[in-house]
Structure 1
Amino acid sequence: MAKSMLIISRQAPWSGPSAREALDIALAGGAFDLPLAMLFLDDGVLQLAPAQQPDAVQQKNLAANLQALPLFGVDELFACQRSLARRGMPSEGLEPAMTVLDDAELQALIARFDQVVTL
């Protein structure tokens, strides 16, 4: 049986390649039916902000990759409640839909997976 993996994305969408790499790993793993989930933590929650303008910083839009996660079998998507609150983002209506977790729930989530990759 394949080991389960949690991918934690902690970087803002345009601060470097880490946000895109985390999404690429999730999409590739999902395409191969690996049991994985994705958690957006710290500045990683900024990837979930609506109406981003990546052209302004000469970057590609990550929104299509985010929307594709469920299509590739990555159905378990999580966001950190504290990270959202610190950045003034609402925890309701996130797209794609995800479960918002408090600190205790985050610890339980991380403990549930065999491997944890943080980018």
Structure 2
Amino acid sequence: MSENKKSFLIINRKAPYGSSAARDALDVALTISVFEQPLSLLFLDDAVLQLLPSHKPDQIGQKNLSANLAMLEMYDIDQLYVSRTSLEQRGINPDTIQLKIKPLTEPEIALLIKQHDQVLSF
């Protein structure tokens, strides 16, 4: 097996419910981490809503995405980033997010993207 490792950035752009995109992004992240590849997650646009602490998806017949987010730490996925602009546009205070996540400005996001070999967007 090759020792060459590629770095992955998963950009999550979708709201937590209404489509499978948010769950798919997290499933791909967990799968990549099993193969011990360098991995970062970036939450942009409506994906920042995934980071809110109180989800009640049972009211719309969906499974809670928070359990998948909680698994990130178990899988040693600790390079977590969020768009500061996306948070501000949605009135979300970064201090309410329970994950250890770093807010980034637009120029910092551009640099983060350039630093990765593979970028997957959901």
Q: TM-score range by the shorter chain?
A: over 0.9
1:19 pairs with 2:35 = no
- The answer to whether the 8 Å contact 1:36/1:74 transfers is yes
Which consecutive residues of structure 1, in runs of 5 or more, have no partner in the other structure?
none
Report the TM-score when normalising by structure 1.
0.96
1:92 pairs with 2:95 = yes
2: distance between equivalents of 1:114 and 1:82? 25
1:32 pairs with 2:35 = yes
Q: Deviations over 1:23-79 (max 9, x none)?
A: 000111112211111000000101001111010111001111111112112110000
1: distance between equivalents of 2:115 and 2:98? 24
1: distance between equivalents of 2:53 and 2:71? 16
Query: Which amino acid letter does the alignment assign opposite residue 94 of structure 1?
Result: I
1:62 pairs with 2:68 = no
- Out of 81, 106, 109, the residue aligned to residue 106 of structure 1 is 109
Query: Which amino acid letter does the alignment assign opposite residue 45 of structure 1?
Result: V
Runs of 4+ in structure 1 off by over 6 angstroms are none
Which consecutive residues of structure 2, in runs of 5 or more, have no partner in the other structure?
none
Question: Residues 67-78 of structure 1 correspond to what in structure 2 (within 5 A)?
Answer: 67-78=70-81
Report the TM-score when normalising by structure 2.
0.94
- The answer to whether the 8 Å contact 1:33/1:73 transfers is no
Shift of 1:15: 2.0
2: distance between equivalents of 1:64 and 1:95? 12
Identical-pair percentage? 43
2: distance between equivalents of 1:57 and 1:97? 28
Shift of 1:93: 4.0
Q: How many residues align?
A: 119
- The answer to whether the 8 Å contact 1:67/1:95 transfers is no
| SS of the residue 1:89 aligns to | coil
